[in-house]
Chains A and B, each alone.
Chain A
Amino acid sequence: MVEKEVVIKNRAGIHARPAALIVKMANDFKSSIYFEKDGERVNAKSIMGIITLGATYKTPLKVIAEGEDEKEAVEAIADLFERKFEED
């Protein structure tokens, strides 16, 4: 299992478009990928799940992956957060 802390860097937070981007990225990996916020865990391959997090600007999240390509998965998703989901 690999974990990494990420922070939301785009002003608008995670709305539908970033959520779709994350899901698309997550589906490229075989590992099970989750997000954790305040002890609540949602599946990173589910758009609705990610939107439910209510992740606003500057919210810290934990990305967790488990499976054969866990390292790459966490890195790829963290990178997406770094790039502000290609927004701003």
Chain B
Amino acid sequence: MDKFRVLDLLQLDLKENDALNLKCISGRPGLIREIRIPEINRPGLALSGFYENFAYNRIQIFGRGENAYLKKLEREKKKDTLEKFFKYDIPCCVFTRSIDPTEDFRNLAERAGCPLLQTDLSSSEFTTRIIRVLGDIFAPKKLLHGVLVEVFGIGVLITGESGVGKSETALELIERGHRLVADDVVEIRRVSGNILIGKGAKVVSHHMEIRGLGIINITHLFGVGAIRDKKQVQLVVHLEEWDASKEYDRIGEEETTTGILGVRVPSLLIPVRPGRNIPIIIETAAMNERLKKMGYYSAKEFNKNVMRWLETESARATFLEKS
């Protein structure tokens, strides 16, 4: 991953409940400082002069309490603890509730080249949001070659060699009312332990490249209902050219999975051949996946019925033989 700098934090495009409403109020040159860990610190102890185990490499959050203490320090003209504070390599300080830092603090920050940020959120709200946001940013991620579509509410990642028809398949799915998340390059992050979230790269998202047509804009062509920003990856469909010498799953009783970033995702291998309608197969696979989530396994239930029938038939045969 690229270095994540304070500037990147300011430039994040966050919406609604993720918005951090940050702006830089001082120490602009320090915006190139790097944020190395996705954690925060309330620097109360450090300000009072206790620097043992000071978590200086985290984002430092100043709420009303800390600010009241800074004011007290200024009244008493005590600068040494603050000078010591800025000797550490702090990524940035954030003042919540639109609090303006004291003149002393601002000057020292400016001199040390430490960026001061301000937000209108309360400290507790800001803390929950920034931990969530940084958690996403520092989550393990991977770029995969494939198309991510949402089909009947299931996030389906279509993979396969280039030229096998992934984009064309996705295009037909969109045409049938499903949604495109990302074409060709899917960025996958593992969040909250075992959830895989896929989304497209910023510039090219919701554009597709179709051989013979060129690059098309799905949002403009099919409307905003045909796209989604991100979606959990719940099923992997791997397309490959039909190989006559290979055995394909005919029953589907056993579940196969693919590992992405250490998470097992149900996966299917679907052979492509002229005349096979892949979009409809994928639609069916997505619906089947929903049934499985509800606890109904078509193939297993079918086999149970067959077994039951065989049992009654053999019981009947023995009965008829005896009589």
Contacts and interface: CB of A to CB of B under 8 A. Distances in A.
Given A38-B2, A42-B145, A46-B185, A51 B162 contact: no
A52 B145 contact: no
A48 interface: yes
Contacts of B215: 16, 47-48
| Size bin of chain B's contact surface | 10 to 19
Contacts of A49: 145, 184-185
A39 B183 CA distance: 21
A52 B185 contact: yes
Interface string B174-187: 00000000011100
B203 interface: yes
Interface string B150-185: 000000000000110000000000000000000111
Contacts of A48: 183-185, 201, 204, 207-209, 215
A62 interface: no
A51 B204 contact: yes
A47 B203 contact: no
Interface string A44-81: 01111101101000000000000000000000000000
A45 B1 contact: no
A17 to B, nearest CB: 11
Contacts of B208: 48
B68 interface: no
Given A38-B1, A38-B2, A43 B204 contact: no
Nearest to A41: B143
Nearest to A45: B162
A40 interface: yes
B154 to A, nearest CB: 23
B145 to A, nearest CB: 5
Interface string B1-22: 1100000000000000000000
Nearest to B183: A48
A51 B201 CA distance: 10
A56 to B, nearest CB: 12
A39 to B, nearest CB: 7
Interface string B288-303: 0000000000000000
Contacts of B145: 42-43, 46, 49
Contacts of A46: 145, 162, 184-185, 209
Contacts of A38: 1-2
Interface of A: 16, 27, 38-43, 45-49, 51-52, 54
11 contacts: A27-B163, A42-B185, A45-B162, A46-B185, A47-B184, A47-B209, A48-B183, A48-B185, A48-B215, A49-B184, A52-B143
Interface of B: 1-2, 143, 145, 162-163, 183-185, 201, 203-204, 207-209, 215
The 10 closest A-B pairs by CB, nearest first: A48-B184, A52-B201, A45-B162, A43-B145, A52-B185, A47-B209, A49-B185, A48-B204, A46-B184, A40-B143
Given A27-B162, A48-B183, A48-B204, 8 more contacts: A38-B2, A40-B143, A45-B162, A46-B145, A46-B185, A47-B215, A48-B207, A54-B203
